[in-house]
Chains A and B, each alone.
Chain A
Amino acid sequence: MKIPKRLGWISGGVLLALLIWFTFSTYGAGRPIGASTGIAYMGAWFFGLTDTPYFKKITESGSWEVIFLIGVLLGGAFTSLFITKTFKIRAIPPLWKKHKNSSVASRLFWSFIGGFMVVFGARLAGGCTSGHFLSGASQTAISGLIFGGVAIVVLILTGRLFYKNL
């Protein structure tokens, strides 16, 4: 049997739905998938902010998501090395080069800003693509649907304004 190098959006979507079912079910973890709390947990821990109201609020979800994210790193590395064979050390994505610039320094600067905004925004909103949209909208949660609506509109607006030659 030949293993496909890419999954299309249909097979990828089905597998992701199966994983959501398993994670939610009592056979799995009995909780939703989430990622941004794990990153906030790391930040709070590394900066010695464990004795704060917010850290105490997120210790359960945050610690769970840290272990989850370790698994994600391993799964991504395994797949990029052995299945898709796309592992490569690089710093500028082709699309950035085409529509922004070719400067590594600029890309790293904006990555830091972008990553900062992603996690700060997600914590303010109480979730990210995984928690609010994938897990939230799957439960028809109104919080997740509002987040998804706002995020898609602002994502496309930023795409218009931040990049050139569109």
Chain B
Amino acid sequence: MNFNIVEFFSETIKLVQQQDHGSIWLILLIGFLFGVIIQWSRVDTFDKIAGFAMLKGFKVPKMLFFSIGIASIGLFFLIKMGLASYHIKPIMLGGIILGGIIFAIGMAILGLCPGTGPVAVSEGNLDVLVGLIGGIFAGALFTYLYPELEKIMGPNLGKLTLTQFFDGSWFIFLYGVALIAIAFLLPNREIEEEVGEV
């Protein structure tokens, strides 16, 4: 056990400074803006996320699909212009399916995920703070068990993207517009109709 917070942060900051992924201030700014957007849209509540799991409110998937639709088109051209690059996660089939199942059961119960959870904590939700502590325990256990778990995470089918199969700008427009269409087609029902504003 090592709960020396000062050492934790000084080591972590040092590790970040060794990378070429932005200064500490820039990363804090990106996180800050993420927190503002998520909190301002109020998609950081149990009601919104578990409400989608119960099919009683659709703001979360609408915003997610809409955002990915727009982001995908712009990102494609940013990469084409050399202003960004692909960062593709490999298809570790066993890990993605088993992990996706465990993740989603947990998400329906906690009502939050690793990105929105800290926003929920920051606005005063003690239950989500307990969930975050659960997550920290899970991170430790996963790290400990990784040499064993690694064996069931495969097969690795590679870092594939759809754009590798459908080359050309037409595809990314089709993809992006399809996601945006899903966002519009999902019901407009909001969870506030059932439990009011939080």
Instruction: List A residues at the B interface (Cβ < 8 Å).
Output: 6-17, 19-33, 35-36, 38-49, 52-55, 59-60, 63-64, 66-80, 83-84, 86-96, 98-99, 107-108, 110-147, 150-156, 158-160, 162-163, 166
Expressed in whole angstroms, the minimum distance between the Cβ of A132 and any Cβ of chain B is: 7
Interface digits, B19-33 against A, CB 8 Å rule (1 contact, 0 not)? 111101011111111
CA distance A139 to B159 in the complex (A): 11
Total contacts A to B, CB within 8 angstroms?
529
Expressed in whole angstroms, the minimum distance between the Cβ of B30 and any Cβ of chain A is: 5
Query: Taking CB as reference atom, which chain B residue is nearest A40?
Result: B139
Question: CB distance A133 to B183 under 8 Å?
Answer: no
Chain B residues near A108: list those with CB within 8 A.
126-127, 130
Chain B residues near A41: list those with CB within 8 A.
12, 139
Chain B residues near A20: list those with CB within 8 A.
67, 71, 75
Question: CB distance B37 to A12 under 8 Å?
Answer: yes
Expressed in whole angstroms, the minimum distance between the Cβ of B135 and any Cβ of chain A is: 4
Question: CB distance B67 to A93 under 8 Å?
Answer: no
- List which B133-163 residues lie within 8 A (CB) of chain A: 133-144, 146-147, 149, 153, 157, 159-163
What 8 A-B pairs come out closest when comparing CB atoms? A71-B31, A75-B35, A43-B139, A117-B106, A125-B99, A159-B53, A115-B131, A114-B110
Chain B residues near A35: list those with CB within 8 A.
113-115, 118
Chain B residues near A91: list those with CB within 8 A.
125-127
Question: CB distance A39 to B71 under 8 Å?
Answer: no
Question: CB distance B35 to A116 under 8 Å?
Answer: no
Select B41's contact among A7, A42, A95, A150, beta carbons within 8 Å. A7
Question: CB distance B137 to A73 under 8 Å?
Answer: no
Expressed in whole angstroms, the minimum distance between the Cβ of A41 and any Cβ of chain B is: 7
Question: CB distance B30 to A68 under 8 Å?
Answer: yes
Chain A residues near B101: list those with CB within 8 A.
121, 150, 154
Expressed in whole angstroms, the minimum distance between the Cβ of B123 and any Cβ of chain A is: 4
How many chain B residues touch A (CB < 8 A): the figure is 136
Given contacts A12-B41, A39-B136, A150-B96, whether A111 and B22 have CB atoms under 8 Å apart is no
CA distance A47 to B141 in the complex (A): 9
Interface: B169 (CB within 8 A): no
Select B26's contact among A28, A46, A113, beta carbons within 8 Å. A28
Given contacts A31-B21, A77-B123, A159-B55, whether A118 and B110 have CB atoms under 8 Å apart is yes
Expressed in whole angstroms, the minimum distance between the Cβ of A161 and any Cβ of chain B is: 9
Given contacts A80-B124, A90-B124, A139-B75, whether A72 and B104 have CB atoms under 8 Å apart is no
Chain B residues near A59: list those with CB within 8 A.
15
Interface: B38 (CB within 8 A): yes
Chain B residues near A119: list those with CB within 8 A.
106, 114, 134-136, 138-139, 142
Query: Taking CB as reference atom, which chain A residue is nearest B17?
Result: A63
Interface: B13 (CB within 8 A): yes
Select B172's contact among A14, A32, A140, beta carbons within 8 Å. A140
Query: Taking CB as reference atom, which chain A residue is nearest B93?
Result: A146
5 additional A-B pairs beyond A9-B59, A113-B109, beta carbons within 8 Å, are: A36-B135, A44-B139, A59-B15, A93-B198, A116-B135
Given contacts A28-B22, A93-B46, A114-B111, whether A138 and B95 have CB atoms under 8 Å apart is no
Question: CB distance B194 to A95 under 8 Å?
Answer: yes
